[in-house]
Structure 1
Amino acid sequence: MDILIKAGQLFLSLSILILVHEFGHFIAARYFKIRVEKFYLFFNPWFSLLKFKRGETEYGLGWLPLGGYVKIAGMIDESMDKEAMKLPPQPWEFRSKPAWQRLIIMLGGIIMNVLLGIFIYWMLLYISGEEYIPTESVKYGIAVDSLGSEMGFKNGDRIVAVDGKQVENFLKIPSAIIINLANTVTVQRNGQQVSVPIDQSMIKKAIDNKSVDFLSIRIPFVVKGFAPNSPAKSAGIEVNDQVIAINGQPAFYYDEIKNHLTVNRGKQIDVSFLRSNDTITKQIALPSDGLLGVQLAPPTDFMQTRTIKYS
């Protein structure tokens, strides 16, 4: 039943996209006083499921759901009607109009699709708002990649300010550092505030790498789901289990556990995890890629969020 519902939703969504696209061509043509002979959702070779005429235009529903079309006078389109092109151009035909008008008509469908996408995104923000994780809620600190480490950050640092200014939305911190060419970032490290100077060459490196992932939210390793043929699932790990050690060495966070898994690729490892109040250890044969095949719980499962309302 779910498959039928999703197929129906996909079919309806594509139908709306087709209608909006063809309407873009239609409205542009009508604006420039060009005759539109047909407006069809889906193609209609040999027969139509539904059709009616209003004014000069025939509106209809075809039976072949591979697209749609508008038949614009004086233009060879999907209908491949070439007979009218043998006659002299008429003022209400596409071919008699200036090039700039013809260009707008041809681009009308794409323009309408772009506007539809903007409208849908705006409506989602208007109705649901924009959810974000405040910087102050990032209680486990940050996880850094090699570039973040070169900049001077350390795993577990908690960002306090960028060039002396607090950044409310944590996900905007990397872009604030890059775009504003930040000179210093204040972090809380081991209970003390530390000023991390930012070498401008590191910012250039981040721009060249097109990456804002040099800082990310540090999260515990809590299992939310499994990939197909997951080694972790095969070993008996379950959803909501929290990994706390690899080969007897404490490791609570994703970045710590990832390092252990990378070192032990292709080997047998002992994975210790919490299940309710019990600590359990299982042996897992790691594949050559070093992945456990699990989906992690997102940061929003551990930290409070805020929502910006646009309505």
Structure 2
Amino acid sequence: MEEVIYFIITIAMLVFVHELGHFLAAKMTGMRTEAFAIGFGKRVIGWSKPRGFSFGPLPEDVDLGDYTDYRLCWLPLGGYVKISGMVDESLESEFTETEPKPYEFRSKSAPAKIFVILGGIIMNLLLALVIFWVMNLTMGKQMIEIRDLQYIPKNSVAEKFGFMTGDSILAINGKKVTYLNELSEQILIHNAGKDIAIEFDRNGEKKTIVIPKAQVPKDESMGPLFPIVDKTDPFVEALAPDSPAGTAGVKPKDKILALNGTPVISVTNVIDVISNSGGKAVDFRVLREKDTLAIAVMPKKDEAGQYKVGIQLNGNSDTTMFDVYEYGFIEAGTKSFGQIGAVTVLTFQ
């Protein structure tokens, strides 16, 4: 129920901002706005300067002149602004049989009409600008250095293209990249629709892999090209009853150092190795208090056919892999415009 309430509040806020754009544009161009409503259906409560607060529908012959009735309607999943001389969702068109009045939508110039129609979109963009601006000012920019992401999951898009654990990305189509967000922007935005030449370092040797544009992932349905893997020092938080791991001797609070002789750096890393074990024993190396132990665990398939060992994992984040860049007021605003542009590009790709 709580989620439903939050959903309704969020929709109401978004609708309010959108309709406010139409309302302000109409006022600025001299149009009469008869009603500003949040919700659809019959009027529940409202206020106007001539009549004050009132409940229920207004009389059909009421004339508020240049004033607006601000109202709440019974279905709070939308809203509208009723502009004189404009055919809207109500499909009322009797006014078209009379001469246009100076305050009506139909009597205004084409630029004024376009401005009113686009008013909602303009306000939505301004809202996004304010949100991004505030986020940039208060949170800064958390940046993950690419060199710290040294794990390529099995069967990932990156592995299929030939990337290996330990590869260090240097540049995308000749543009140097240092942080993960730069990598994403270069692939998804600045080089959208192009072949992607990825230059990287492998054991001191520079290499390049070219990914044809048709195979570049455009969204999560194709899988990310370089999965984000948090460096979280995975540990066992809990064990399922009669789990393979518990039976083998793994205990809660054990810190997982390596699997099958290969160091692990994240919860995702552990899950990936176990799920791709093929049912063969996985050699755990764990740290228990001050002792390092070797434990062989035999995974079992669950109902979905996935190999599991019956452990609940958690991790202690390594904050040293993050850099936080703090924006100034003007820089935060400038960055906000770029973020809106990036989101727009991704939306229409």
Calculate the TM-score normalised by the size of structure 1: 0.70
Aligned match of 2:47: 51
- Residue of structure 2 equivalent to 1:26: 23
Partner letter of residue 51 of structure 1? W
Residue number in structure 2 paired with 1:304: 321
Distance 1:177 1:89 in 2: 53
Q: Aligned pair in 2 of structure 1 residues 173, 70: CA closer, same or farther (>3 Å)?
A: closer
Q: Classify 1:174/1:52 alpha carbon distance in 2 versus 1 (closer, same or farther; 3 Å).
A: closer
Q: Secondary structure at the match of 1:118?
A: helix
CA-atom RMSD, angstroms? 4.2
Q: Which runs of 5+ in 2 are unaligned?
A: 51-64, 329-349
Verify: 1:204 aligned to 2:212, yes or no. yes
Aligned-partner Cα distance in 1 for 2:38–2:298 = 58
Q: How does 1:148-297 map to 2 (within 5 A)?
A: 148-149=158-159, 153-159=163-169, 161-162=170-171, 167-173=177-183, 179=191, 184-187=199-202, 189=203, 193-196=204-207, 198-199=208-209, 202-204=210-212, 208-210=216-218, 213-214=225-226, 217=229, 219=231, 222=234, 233=240, 235=243, 242-243=255-256, 249-253=260-264, 254-255=268-269, 258-264=272-278, 267=279, 272=284, 274=286, 276-277=288-289, 279=293, 284-287=299-302, 288-290=304-306, 292=308
Gap regions ≥5 residues in structure 1: 227-231
* TM-fit CA distance, 1:18: 1.6
- In 2, the alpha carbon distance for the partners of 1:104 and 1:297 equals 52
Change (3 A) 1:127 1:152: same
May I ask how many residue pairs the two structures share in their alignment?
288
Per mean C-alpha deviation after superposition, the further-off stretch among 36-45 and 75-84 is 75-84
1:15 to 12, 15, 26: 12
The farther-off stretch of 280-289 and 127-136 is 280-289
- Output the CA distance in 1 between the equivalents of 2:48 and 2:109: 31
Deviation, 1:154, is 2.2
The structure-2 alpha-carbon separation of the partners of 1:294 and 1:132, relative to structure 1 and needing over 3 Å to count, comes to farther
Q: Which amino acid aligns with 1:88?
A: E
Instruction: State the distance in 2 between where 1:105 and 1:97 align.
Output: 10
Q: SS of the counterpart of 2:182?
A: helix
Shift of 1:242: 4.6
- Whether the 8 Å CA contact 1:142–1:158 is kept in 2: the answer is no
Give the SS at the match of 1:172: helix
Aligned partners of 2:284 and 2:113: how far apart in 1? 68
Aligned identity (percent) is 27
Aligned in 2, Cα 1:221/1:281: closer, same or farther, shift over 3 Å?
A: farther
1:70-89 alignment to 2 at 5 Å? 70-89=81-100
Contact in 2 for aligned 1:220/1:242 (Cα 8 Å): no
What is residue 94 of structure 1 aligned with on the other side? 105
CA offset at residue 131 of structure 1?
A: 0.6
